[in-house]
Structure 1
Amino acid sequence: MNTRPFLSDQSGLTLIELMIAMALGLFVLLAATGLLLSSKAAYTVQSQMAYVHESGRYAMDILSRAVRQAGHEDHRMSITMTQEATPNVIGLDAMTLKKTTAGLNDASTKGVVNGSDVLALRFFGDDTNRQDGTILNCAGLPVAAPDASDDAESGRGWSIFFVGKDAAGEPELRCKYRTQTGWNADAIVRGVESFQVLYGVDADDDGMPDRFVNADAVDALDSQLSLNGENVVARAADLRRRTHWKKIRSIRIAILVRSTQPARDDDLSAVHELFGPGYANTHAARDRGTSVAERDIPFAERNRLRKVFEQTIQLRNDVAGAAA
């Protein structure tokens, strides 16, 4: 006969076993949560960096195509550029524009984003009144060639680039253009914190740029001209003939693009030099926006990913319209 006492099956956990099980469960939960957060952070960084690269590439593509189109003429037209016509390339340093004012009217430093510049490009369209899409403005809209009632001023199209902020305060590269009923401006790339332009001036007329300077420096060269003419109108016409804006042979563009979402947790101490340290060391103090320090950016916007894109574009057409 078995004399050992009968042992009943265990029907629960001891307090120690329960505490161990809970600790293991919490450990697994914390590990899974950490892995999830890490994966989400990595995804955010990758997706935001992809956005920055794609936005920068797209912006530079639009800008380069517009620059190469500056000064385009359809030689079948009866209207041609004269020496007294305004330049096909015009720039403003550290300015911004309103959406619906004509051309560069009402340019202002109020609301300018990180000293961003304004770049205006002019060109003739193709095929009078047909607007066949051969020549497009910066918004992708066709520009017709002028008809007999137009002149070199009213008959040329416009592509004007500048930086503004949307209703949410996000900076964006905008394209301003003329429509059949007035003027408008559309955002083409969001997240552009700085838009900087240098102009390759051919001072000795050998067809090659001698140096790259900003818009203020081009205007300063014009201010040194000794203008001919008996009155203000005549001297203004002489300036249009001889302006250094008609001696631009290439344009160097740099933009600083940021992500749409926070994606960083570093010390946020970077300085973005849009034209490199050489230009920044000698010109940044006078050329606003060519050097952007993250410590000067509003705190809530500092932890974005940022990247500088730079390109030099050779002008294809005679932007002078016969410079003297």
Structure 2
Amino acid sequence: MTRNGQSGLTLVELMISITLGMLVVLAATALLVSSKSAYTGQDDSAKVRDTANYALELINRAARQGAYENWDTGEGGAPILTLPKMSANIAGLDASSLKDTTTAIDSPLTGATAVVNGSDVLGIRFFGSGPAGKPDNGMIDCAGFGISAPASQSTAEQDRGWSIFYVVKDTGGEPELRCKYYPDGGGTWASVAVARGVESFQVLYGLDTDGAKPGEGDRIPNQFVTATAINALDDKLSLDGADAAAQAIDKNKRTNWKRVVAIKVALLLRGTNKSRNDVLNQTYDLFGSDYSTGNAAADTGTLIKEAELPTATRNRYRKLFLADIQFRNQAEGSGK
């Protein structure tokens, strides 16, 4: 009788098969992880760009509306003007944040716990359009709500619309650029988030220093400075007036905020995913290395180092966005 040999795998063959199978699985897993990482990175990049484009367009539109006056009032109608005695149509704060319900940019929040990486506050004012109390949405604030024209010249100061931009952390700790506004016709101050992941929001103001008074220059910025620097210039003004009210009017006429003819805006945005595996030691000079070299110590937030950011968010995708915006209207007001 002939005995048939038993067929099957030896232990060595089984070990080799398992090893080869594991190598295939590892290669497939590495490919999957790499593909997912690439997809996550591309997705973050697209979202960050879309967010930045929207935020900068919103700020750009608000700036173009700044100091707007409606001269198309029909036959016999007199336009309501920004008189020299009225406050400036632009305001700002350095390294500050705001509460939603406080008036305009009053009572700012300061300090590292309240302010995200030294982010600034930018406030812009403008006249609305349409009958008082019935906006035609020709002029809207940063939240998208229509603002109507002032009821009269005597109420024009307080009837101007507001678009205020600042950065604050949401309930989950994510920094977001917010728009603060005041409803047309009255109510309470409110705000709405317009961009998430804003790690730093910085603004420089272009001053037209030509001319003895605001409005007498060539509308070309001679220098870009911080809000703190503008306020320091105002503090040096020798004001005329018999009392505080008269001096406040004189300050409104001569304030250096009415010399602002352009702004520089810088936004450092981050993605939502931990998608980076490179060396996390990049440095972001929001207004360029020449500016940060001489000013970063005083102008907090214009120089961001990844190595100094919180570990939990350090390996997110980041990108810097810049915009130069020229004001179309006269910041000092056209009324005489």
Equivalent residues of 1:194, 1:255 under 8 A apart: yes
TM-score with structure 2 length normalisation? 0.91
Shift of 1:84: 1.0
Give the secondary-structure state (helix, strand or coil) at the position aligned to 2:155: coil
Please give the alpha-carbon distance, in whole angstroms, between the structure 2 residues aligned to 1:71 and 1:7: 104
Determine the structure 1 residue equivalent to 2:304: 292
Please give the alpha-carbon distance, in whole angstroms, between the structure 2 residues aligned to 1:200 and 1:323: 22
Please give the alpha-carbon distance, in whole angstroms, between the structure 1 residues aligned to 2:235 and 2:34: 58
After superposition, residues 174-253 of structure 1 pair within 5 angstroms as 174-179=178-183, 180-204=186-210, 205-253=217-265
Q: Deviations over 1:242-298 (max 9, x none)?
A: 000011111111111111111112221111110000111111111111111112211
Unmatched 5+ stretches in structure 2:
211-216
Shift of 1:222: 1.0
Give the secondary-structure state (helix, strand or coil) at the position aligned to 1:255: strand
Unmatched 5+ stretches in structure 1:
none
After superposition, residues 11-26 of structure 1 pair within 5 angstroms as 11-26=7-22
Residue type of the alignment partner of 1:138? C
Please give the alpha-carbon distance, in whole angstroms, between the structure 2 residues aligned to 1:196 and 1:289: 7
Shift of 1:22: 1.1
Please give the alpha-carbon distance, in whole angstroms, between the structure 2 residues aligned to 1:221 and 1:322: 23
Deviating 4+ runs (over 3 angstroms): none
2:60 equivalent to 1:48: no
Give the secondary-structure state (helix, strand or coil) at the position aligned to 2:323: strand
Residue type of the alignment partner of 1:258? R
Shift of 1:7: 5.6
The Cα RMSD (Å) is 1.7
TM-score with structure 1 length normalisation? 0.94
Determine the structure 2 residue equivalent to 1:130: 134
Q: Deviations over 1:101-157 (max 9, x none)?
A: 121121120401111110000001111133222111001111111224961222100
Q: Percent same amino acid among aligned pairs?
A: 47
Please give the alpha-carbon distance, in whole angstroms, between the structure 2 residues aligned to 1:102 and 1:301: 33
Please give the alpha-carbon distance, in whole angstroms, between the structure 1 residues aligned to 2:20 and 2:105: 68
Give the secondary-structure state (helix, strand or coil) at the position aligned to 1:154: helix
Aligned length: 320
Query: Rg larger in 1 or in 2?
Result: 1
Determine the structure 1 residue equivalent to 2:286: 274
